[in-house]
A and B are shown apart, each in its own frame.
Chain A
Amino acid sequence: MTLKHQLILDNLTAGYRDKTILKNINIDISPGQITSIIGANACGKSTLLRTMSRLLTPYKGQVLLDGKSIHNAPTRQLAQTLGLLPQSPIAPEGITVGDLVSRGRHPHHGLMSRWSKTDDEAVAKALETTKTTELLDREVDELSGGQRQRVWIAMALAQETDILLLDEPTTFLDVAHQIEVLDLLVELNQSRGTTIVLVLHDLNLASRYSDQLIAMQQGQIFASGTPELVVTEDIIHTVFGLHSHIISDPISGAPMVLPIGRHKRVTSP
């Protein structure tokens, strides 16, 4: 896939019924890269992702995919390019992993079309990539949190979209599983060139695993760019209201935030 899809947010203002949450958002998502949206609670991270994935229609402005507004595009066609893993997807009671992942093929089927070999192959590949092949016949209800999240990612992969949006894919996971999921996303990005946008809570993981960061504050983009540009003491202070000390992550070399609280300090300020 040489042609990368362009996702551009053009002067977005969006929110829910009586409350405007996003104000005048302008940004180009870098194709073929991993972008994380970071920010304090209730700053509009998830709203931004929901608007980007056309779950929420903006009041003003538009989301352009290759120059065309996604809110007017045929939704099935769009779903072949743009995939989303919501924050809390629901697994139907008793569904097996194989069945759930197969449902990712939905946008590739019309009213009459039959299940084909291509579909099976896409499902097999998704299972392989997420290392969930062994779980194929298990019921989703009986999996551990980490396994379940991998299975949901497999479903999104079976959709075979060039752009994948994930809303806090690591919440509720312990640290080992968080790393596992993020490693998986990196592999996906490298092997398939998938453009990945995710909302992440953990600043240091976001900094380590992303090519680009979008730092949001009160519904606006406060800073965006590479982790080196965004993760600075000033920006972290403005966005999170937190004093910190930035060092270079000894593992990855990315900037790493050491929060400074009121207690537990070796030297007094």
Chain B
Amino acid sequence: MKNNVNATLSRIKYGRKQRSSRWNCLIVILCLLVMAAFSITLSLGQSFTSPTEVLKVLLGENVPGASFVVGHLRLPRAVISLLVGMSFGMAGVAFQIMLRNPLASPDIIGVSSGTTAAAVFAIIVLNMDGASVAFFSIVMGLLVAISIYALSYRNGAAGTRLILIGIGVSAMIESGIVYLLSQAPAWDRQEALRWLSGSVNSAQLHQALPLLISLLLFGGLLLSRTRDIEALRMGDDTAQSLGVRVGVTRIIVITSSVGLIAVGASITGPIAFVAFLSGPIAMRLIQNNGSLIIPSGLIGACLVMMGDYIGQFLLTSRYPVGVVTGALGAPYLIYLIIRVNRKGGSL
């Protein structure tokens, strides 16, 4: 009997160790992927810059020819892509877990377009810039999130209804963005595309600071709640009976995700489907070996960097990153809608 218990104990321990080592292993792989994408963005464009030259530029040396291309063109792109991708990936998966539906990502249910609309309005109509734009779009994003929630609230349960209402709100807001853009004094195709599908074409290095702050603040907040957020996957009732404060956890998830999305979207626009795709990809890779939030952030970063690279160099003409990720995400969206229709999906 005693032996049996010991055998069980070691099997439990083994299972746990195996899960965590699989998780660690996948995180390392994802980090390597992110680094690879980052270095490719830095060294390979219209021209090739050798890794040594890239390093020299990064260390502040003046390398004729390379300094401008790497330091001014490629570095800001890579850094902004990395940070925005992480923000979107983390925010997306947190929403999907909270509402237990892969369709419930902020870019499907209107939160992303809400923050973008706010940013466009703040920049074009109110002539704001920098931190005030980000702040304005966080507030608007929260308002959109709360109103979608309130509109779909009936006796608590807010599943498919919330998503449908979100899609409707999203469509409405997007038409608002188009209207705002058409009113803009200087109609600029690049600028318009950025707000409609997201782009890192006008990335500048100083924009990294607000993104970094938002990742540390909101991302950190999400990570500190990992275990509670994971428990929500078993249903609100089970989570609550396990001692999770469901209401508080929801508020934290909504606020920090909206914060992450808003700050990102106010700089690059709502890069299509990054928030939506990262979580499910993370789910397939990680399975049940641990938390999805960090993996989803890393996958988001990969998606934006690779999408941007493909859009810039691998297609017949140059497209902003949002067009590429949008093309990737659309088929998956159709697949999900069919699947959810058949059997009701969860993350």
Chain A residues with CB under 8 A of B4: 128, 133
Contact A99 B19 (CB under 8 A): yes
Q: Are B238 and A124 in contact (CB under 8 A)?
A: no
A residues 39-77 near B (Cβ < 8 Å) are: 50, 53-55, 75-77
How many residues of B are counted as interface, with CB atoms below 8 angstroms from the partner's CB atoms?
A: 32
Contact residues in B for A136 (Cβ distance below 8 Å): 8, 11-12, 15
Chain B hits for A93, CB < 8 A: 283, 288, 346-347
- Beyond A92-B233, A121-B9, A124-B5, whether A76 also contacts B15 by CB under 8 A is no
Q: How many residues from A make CB contacts under 8 Å with B? A: 46
Measured CB to CB, the closest approach of chain A to B347, in angstroms, equals 8
Determine whether the beta carbon of A83 is less than 8 Å from that of B15: no
B224 within 8 A of A: yes
Contact A92 B8 (CB under 8 A): no
Residue of B nearest to A109 (CB): B227
Does A127 count as interface, using CB distance less than 8 angstroms? Answer: yes
Least CB distance from A13 to B in Å reads: 18
In the complex, A154→B116 CA distance in Å? 47
Q: Which among A55, A77, A106, A137 is the interface contact of B227 at CB below 8 angstroms?
A: A106
Q: Is B244 an interface residue (CB 8 A)?
A: yes
The answer to the question of B231 belonging to the interface, with a C-beta cut-off of 8 Å to chain A, is yes
Bits for A86-103, please: 1 = Cβ < 8 Å to B, else 0: 101111111110110011
Mark interface residues in B1-25 (1 if CB within 8 Å of A CB, else 0): 0001100110111011001000000
Check A94–B287 contact: CB distance below 8 A: yes
Decide if A115 is an interface residue (CB 8 Å cutoff): yes
Q: How far is the CB of B339 from chain A (nearest CB, A)?
A: 12
The answer to whether B238 touches A86 (Cβ under 8 A) is yes
Say yes or no: B237 contacts A86, CB within 8 Å.
yes
Q: B74 at the A/B interface (Cβ < 8 Å)?
A: no
Q: How far is the CB of B37 from chain A (nearest CB, A)?
A: 28
Which residues on A sit within 8 Å (CB–CB) of B235? Answer: 86, 88-90
Q: Is A104 an interface residue when CB atoms closer than 8 A count as contact?
A: yes
Known: A78-B243, A128-B8. A55 touches B237 (CB 8 A): yes
Scoring B residues 308 to 322 as 1 if CB is less than 8 Å from chain A, else 0, what string do you get? 000000000000000
- The CA-CA distance from A76 to B248 in the complex, in Å, is 13
Q: Write the nearest CB–CB distance from A18 to chain B, whole angstroms.
A: 9
Question: How far is A85 from B241 in the complex, measured between Cα atoms in Å?
Answer: 8
Asked if B234 and A53 make an inter-chain contact with CB atoms under 8 angstroms apart, the answer reads no
Rounded to whole Å, the gap between the CB of B246 and the closest CB of chain A is 9
A13 CA / B288 CA spacing, docked (Å): 41
The residue in chain A whose Cβ has the minimal distance to the Cβ of B153 is: A17
Contact yes or no, B288 A92, CB < 8 A: yes
Point out the residue from A17, A80, A89, A120 that lies within 8 Å of B237, measured CB to CB: A89
CB of B245 within 8 A of chain A? yes
Task: Say yes or no for A185: interface residue by CB 8 A criterion.
Answer: no
Query: Are B234 and A103 in contact (CB-based, < 8 A)?
Result: yes
Complex formed: what's the CA distance from A95 to B233 in Å? 11
**Contact of A16 with B by CB under 8 A:** yes
Q: Do B288 and A94 have beta carbons less than 8 Å apart?
A: yes
Given contacts A78-B243, A79-B241, A99-B288, contact A89 B234 (CB under 8 A): yes
Any chain A CB within 8 A of the CB of B201? no
Report if B194 contacts A (CB, 8 A). Answer: no
Question: Are A111 and B234 touching (Cβ within 8 A)?
Answer: no
Q: Which of B9, B238, B245 has a CB less than 8 Å from the CB of A120?
A: B9
Asked if A254 is at the interface of the complex by the 8 Å CB criterion, the answer is: no
Query: Across the interface, do A107 and B288 meet the contact criterion of CB distance under 8 Å?
Result: no
Chain B's closest residue to A19 (CB) is B155
In contact, B288 and A98 (Cβ under 8 angstroms): no
**Assuming A90-B233, A106-B242, is B224 touching A95 (CB within 8 A)?**
no
A221 at the interface (CB under 8 A from B): no
Q: Are B155 and A17 in touch, CB under 8 angstroms?
A: yes
Q: Is A198 an interface residue (CB 8 A)?
A: no
Q: Are A80's CB and B238's CB within 8 A?
A: no
Q: Specify which chain A residues have a CB less than 8 angstroms from the CB of B234 in the assembled complex.
A: 89-92, 103
The reply to whether the CB of A22 lies closer than 8 angstroms to some CB of chain B is no
CA distance A61 to B150 in the complex (A): 28
| Distance between B167 CB and nearest chain A CB, rounded to angstroms | 24
**A14 proximal to B (CB < 8 A):** no
A79 partner, pick from B15, B243, B347, beta carbons under 8 A:
B243
The docked-state distance in angstroms from the alpha carbon of A106 to that of B233 is 13
Give the contacting residue for A104; candidates B12, B15, B237, B242; CB below 8 A. B242
Q: A76-B243, A137-B11 are in contact. List 5 more A-B contacts (CB 8 A).
A: A53-B241, A54-B240, A55-B240, A90-B100, A120-B13
Q: List 11 A-B contacts (CB under 8 A).
A: A80-B243, A86-B237, A89-B234, A89-B238, A93-B283, A96-B288, A102-B12, A124-B5, A127-B12, A133-B4, A136-B15
